[in-house]
Amino acid sequence: MTTEFFVNFAQEAIKVTLMVSMPMLLLGLIVGVAISIFQAVTQIQEMTLTFVPKILVVLLALLYFSGWMLEHLMQFTVNTINQIPYYIR
């Protein structure tokens, strides 16, 4: 096992992590910015107004994208397990 192997494996793991988490993070960011603009325009400074919609949107995104996320995570896991004999060499 070389340092190149560890760097490539870490890059792939980080890429999969970012790809799987990106839909929820982006939708949460979009809703958060929209609510912040709404609060600035209306001068409503209620803290629960920011959290509840973001939580709901992230939950809905998780439900909607769960199959896609599970597919990518399973593919990464299967590839990693299948490559174990090559890692040992």
Chain segment 22-68, per-residue pLDDT in tens? 999 999 999 999 999 998 898 888 888 888 999 999 999 999 999 99
d(CA 30, CA 49): 14
The structure tokens 């090559």 sit at 86
Q: Please state the domain count of the chain.
A: 1
How far is the C-alpha of 79 from the C-alpha of 64, rounded, in Å?
A: 25
Q: Are 67 and 37 in contact (CB under 8 A)?
A: no
pTM over 0.75: yes
Domain span at residue 79 reads 3-88
Annotate 12-59 with DSSP letters as a single string.
HHHHHHHHHHHHHHHHHHHHHHHHHHHHHHHT---THHHHHHHHHHHH
